Amino acid sequence: MHMEQEQFKPRTERAVETFKEGYNCAQAVFATYADCFGMDRKTALEMSSAMGAGIGRMREVCGAVSSMAMLAGLKEGNADPEDEAAKEHIYSLVRTMSARFKEEHGTIICKELLGLDSAEESAKPSIRTPEFYETRPCARIIACAAKIIEEELLCKP
């Protein structure tokens, strides 16, 4: 795809395509939007790489949800340990975004989203095959997180 075409593709689609290129859920979401808040793609991919598959493939908080929180921090995060109002604001924003996600999917926990009883013992990622993409809800989850980011972070001043 030409760079011009990629530029005009909706970011929600770009996030899903990034996942289908082999990046994890957190990377797909975070790297798609990090440039909106001043971070380059390579740094975004590296920073979010550990958050995939429910943080280090432990199947805890979904990587797409973790990326929503990290992007909220890039946009409206607090750097002053004395500013209690700013702390409350960022926590409130993350809770709002997470609640929207939970409304759609019933949970923010990776293993529950995937219908797993427990986390896998291995940190080794699953092989990405057409069957992997067909059986996982991850593309739909990533699109949902992207929509929430656009509505909560990009469309609000």
In whole angstroms, what is the distance from residue 5 CA to residue 82 CA? 45
Supply the pLDDT for residue 156: 73
State pTM to two decimals. Answer: 0.91
Q: pLDDT tens per residue, the chain (157 residues)?
A: 444 445 557 999 999 999 999 999 999 999 999 999 999 999 999 999 999 999 999 999 999 999 999 999 999 999 999 999 999 999 999 999 999 999 999 999 999 999 999 888 899 998 999 999 999 999 999 999 999 999 999 987 6
**Cα distances (Å, whole numbers) of residue 133 to 19, 43, 57, 122, 139:** 9, 26, 17, 20, 8
User: Do residues 30 and 47 make contact, with C-beta atoms less than 8 angstroms apart?
Assistant: yes
Written as six digits, the tokens of 71 are 């992007």
